[in-house]
Every structure is written in C-alpha cells, then in structure tokens.
C-alpha cells in the first residue's frame, strides 16, 4: 500500500503529473518553476521519491512517474479538482483563490469530507429548481445579504406540510 506522503512530496508528484499531462518533457527546471522552489530542492525531492519507488529518474535524465507514483499523483489531483470545483461552483469563488485554497486543503482534508463536498456540488447542479435554483438563490443571498423572494414566498406555501 502506498506510503503516506507529506504535503511537499504530494506537491512534487502533482506537479510532475500535471507537466506530463501538458505533453511537456518533465525536467527539474520545470518542476522548480511550477512549485516555486530552487532546483536543488527538486533534485533532493526526486531522490526521495525515487527511493520510494514513485519516480524514475536517472541523473541529468528525464523524469517519469512509476505506476505507483502515477496512482499517488492522480489521487492528489482528484482531491485538488474536487476542491477547486467546489470553491468555484458551489461557493462562487474566483478561479485564482479557488486554486490556491485547493492546493493547500488537498493535503489535509479527510476522504469523507471530500466525498461530501463532491456530492454537494453534484446535488446543487442536479437539483433543478428552474429559475430559482440553488446557485442563483445563493448568489442573490451573497449579493444582497438577504434571501430572495422565492425563499420567503415559500414559507407560507409550505406551512401545511407536517413537521
């Protein structure tokens, strides 16, 4: 079973997978730029990840993820995507902030909470209330600080419902 990685090592794995995804050849320089660290930091991280069998890397050569490394990277990326999706879609946060928060929180959130966040996004997107659907009502609330008329109107209409 894959050993638990630190936030830092997860960042390296994620960066490698993302660069690979973009079709670029993965090199130390690139990683260092993406993660905003100096090259020696990358070298030493790669050494560590190699020893753990997550990365293949001969000195001065290209950098690849092993199968295991790829799995670990995809796990992190999955968390990242779920979070940034939640922030932008459900909370209507700007893309930059959504990304930044996802980058931090992806390393610490529990599987359960992540799953529920995902479900919440799904629910909000799926539950159709026409013009008065969730995101619109929520945005109205964000902008005006009070509930939209639809919500208030509904009170009387649902008074006959039991409990």
Partner DNA sequence: ATATATTGTTAGGCAAGTCTAACAATATCC
Partner DNA sequence: GGATATTGTTAGACTTGCCTAACAATATAT
Among positions 2, 3, 21, 39, the unique one binding DNA when judged by CB under 7 A: 39
The full DSSP string for the chain is -PPPPPHHHHHHHHHHHHHHHTTPPP-HHHHHHHHT--HHHHHHHHHHHHHTTSEEE-TTS-EEE-HHHHHHHHHHHHHHHHHHHIIIIIS---HHHHHHHHHHHTTT--HHHHHHHHHHHHHHHHS--GGG-HHHHHHHHHHHSS--HHHHHHHHHTTTS--
Among its own copies, DNA, none, partner that 85 touches (CB below 5 to 8 angstroms by kind): none
Among DNA, its own copies, none, partner that 39 touches (CB below 5 to 8 angstroms by kind): DNA
The answer to whether 95 contacts its own copies (rule: CB under 8 A) is: no
The answer to whether 36 contacts its own copies (rule: CB under 8 A) is: no
Contacts of residue 157, Cβ cutoff 8 Å, sequence gap at least 6: none
Task: Compose the 47-86 pattern: x for residues touching DNA by CB under 7 A, - for all others.
Answer: xx--------x-xx--------------------------
Shortest Å, Cβ 92 to its own copies: 7
Among positions 41, 66, 68, 133, the unique one binding DNA when judged by CB under 7 A: 41
Among its own copies, DNA, none, partner that 60 touches (CB below 5 to 8 angstroms by kind): DNA
The answer to whether 6 contacts DNA (rule: CB under 7 A) is: yes
Residues that bind DNA (CB under 7 A): 6-9, 11, 27-29, 35-48, 57, 59-60
């Amino acid at each position: 079973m894959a050993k638990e990685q630190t936030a830092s090592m997860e960042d390296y794995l994620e960066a490698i997978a993302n660069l690979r995804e973009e079709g670029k050849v993965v090199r130390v320089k690139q990683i260092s730029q993406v993660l905003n660290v100096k090259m020696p930091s990358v070298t030493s991280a790669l050494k560590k990840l190699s020893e753990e069998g997550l990365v293949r890397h001969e000195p001065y050569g290209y950098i690849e993820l092993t199968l295991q490394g790829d799995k670990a990277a995809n796990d992190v990326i999955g968390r990242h995507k779920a979070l940034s999706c939640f922030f932008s879609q459900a909370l209507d946060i700007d893309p930059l902030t959504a990304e930044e928060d996802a980058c931090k929180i992806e390393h610490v959130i529990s599987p359960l909470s992540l799953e529920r966040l995902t479900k919440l996004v799904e629910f909000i997107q799926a539950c159709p209330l026409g013009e008065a659907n969730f995101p619109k009502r929520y945005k109205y609330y964000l902008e005006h600080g009070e509930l939209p008329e639809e919500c208030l109107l509904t009170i009387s209409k649902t008074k006959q419902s039991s409990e």
